[in-house]
Amino acid sequence: QALGVAGVGRTMTPEQMERDLRPVLAQLKQLGAPLCHYKVCSTFDSSPEIGSIGRAADIGRDVFAPPFVPLAVGAPALRRYVVFGNLFAGVGDDTFRLDRHPTMSRHPVTPMAESDLRRHLSHQTRQSIGLLDVVHLSGSPAEIDARFARLRQSGAEIILFDTLDATHLPTVGRLIWENRGNGPLFIVGSSGVGYALTAYWRQIKLIARPAAFPAPGRAAPIVVMSGSAAPPTAAQIEWALAHDFDGIRLDAAKLVTPELAGQEQDSAVRQALAALEAGRSVILYTALGPDDPAIQAAREQMRRLGFDDSGAGRRLGIPQGKILRALVEKSGVRRVCVAGGDTSGYVARQLGIYALEVLAPVSPGAPLCRASSDKSELDGLEISLKGGQLGGLDFFGQILNGGAEYSGRQG
């Protein structure tokens, strides 16, 4: 069994992380679970100033006092690979080193200029970082264990695991699980941590393969809220607009302006309600890809207002959450989707969600879930929270159809 605490650490300064993350980790430690996983994005986007993964690792080491901190980032199911410590990510038919990735190399808040995760992380923490690379992972179990032991003996406080393909997962899972020690082991990594552990647990018969999920079925119309500038999400939006979704562009510059945000929210709600009442699904979005002029316009407006660029996720995500909440409450729509990692965190908070239960594994890293909320009109809402890079071209159509391929007109 597992439980998680949804947070927005990737948008926080180190000082905010100290204030908000430390008490959460201290509470999790009290649960006595054997493992505590600090989940990071599989593209590892972070910086010393915003979303510092190194600071999270420091706080986790201080709270849990683990024998070492495993760092597992590669997730082959998501086309994320770590080779000799360097992170690669697939886009379309190509795979890019992260510092040459068409999106992450120019992320609006945390652009990735370094693909070597050890070098990248060294700017965020003083902990020593060791590496178990693909050559070591190709050895016998005894050879792997010997190399792992040498890393620990050399004083490596964080140990990064290469992950090129699925064959590496059970080995990484074994090294984490069998070296967890007596207390809760603090782990940093992407969903690759879960893939690795469950691969090993199945190998040793600790768990069985999960039963198939019953299909939740079609639930038209739906609402999609996007705050992502990633090219995959832009392509998904364009696909949706070509397949009977009504599109509503949100003016990001107005949303970050306190005096104008309410007016922009009200306008968006009116337009979306009209489409929903006509039986048409709606997608509301702030940008179409990283080159959308709306991104620069919003940045310039924030600077005019004296706001720091690093707060863009929060200043856009909160009003987007208010829009989505108003639409759910006024229309009775029961299935929604949120695109964008930062956006998902802030929107979920506006919806008052305190728990999620998986309904259907639509796409790796982006399932359709049932939400629990103290607010009756939001309790039981079906929702998918997806990162900007995740999902296939017809992802929003699949959400509409409950995980099945899109199959025709709406309304």
Distances, alpha carbon 306 to alpha carbons 12, 256, 263, 301, 317, in Å? 18, 11, 21, 9, 18
Does position 210 have pLDDT exceeding 60, yes or no? yes
The alpha-helical segments, DSSP class H, found in 87-182 are 117-122, 134-137, 141-153, 169-177
Does position 411 have pLDDT exceeding 50, yes or no? no
pTM for this model (two decimals)? 0.84
Answer whether residue 214 is part of any domain.
Answer: no
pLDDT at 110: 80
**Number of residues assigned to the chain:** 411
Selection from 334, 394, 341, 384 nearest residue 359 by Cα: 384
Shared domain for 228 and 192, answered yes or no, is no
Answer whether residue 382 is part of any domain.
Answer: yes
Q: What is the C-alpha to C-alpha distance for residues 229 and 94, in angstroms, rounded to an integer? A: 19
Domain end residue (candidates: 145, 168, 203): 203
pLDDT at 407: 54
Q: Give the range of the structural domain holding residue 89, as residue numbers without chain letter.
A: 9-203
Answer whether residue 29 is part of any domain.
Answer: yes
Domain end residue (candidates: 203, 232, 265): 203
CATH number at residue 313: 3.40.980.20
pLDDT digits (tens, 9 = 90+) for 249-275: 999 999 999 999 999 999 999 999 999
Shared domain for 14 and 44, answered yes or no, is yes
What total number of domains does the chain contain?
A: 2
Both structure tokens of 266: 């009200």
pLDDT at 128: 97
pLDDT digits (tens, 9 = 90+) for 24-63: 999 999 999 999 999 998 999 899 998 999 999 999 999 9
Shared domain for 367 and 339, answered yes or no, is yes
CATH number at residue 85: 3.40.50.10840
Shared domain for 362 and 242, answered yes or no, is yes
What percentage of the chain carries pLDDT values higher than 90? Answer: 76
Cis omega (within 30 of 0) for bond into 141? no
Name the band, by pLDDT with cuts 50, 70 and 90, for residue 213: confident
Both structure tokens of 349: 């908070």
Shared domain for 192 and 288, answered yes or no, is no
- Count CB-CB contacts under 10 A for residue 235: 18
Answer whether residue 406 is part of any domain.
Answer: no
Shared domain for 132 and 190, answered yes or no, is yes
Answer whether residue 215 is part of any domain.
Answer: no
Task: Spell 286-310 as b/e; 16+ CB within 10 A means b.
Answer: bbbbbebebbeebbebbeeeebeeb
Shared domain for 231 and 327, answered yes or no, is yes
Q: What is the mean pLDDT of residues 87-114?
A: 87
What percentage of the chain carries pLDDT values higher than 70? Answer: 98
Shared domain for 18 and 141, answered yes or no, is yes
Query: 189 or 363, which is more confident?
Result: 189
Three-state SS at 136: helix
pLDDT digits (tens, 9 = 90+) for 291-306: 999 999 999 999 999 9
Amino acid letter for position 100: R
Q: What is the mean pLDDT of residues 153-167?
A: 97
Average pLDDT score, the chain: 92
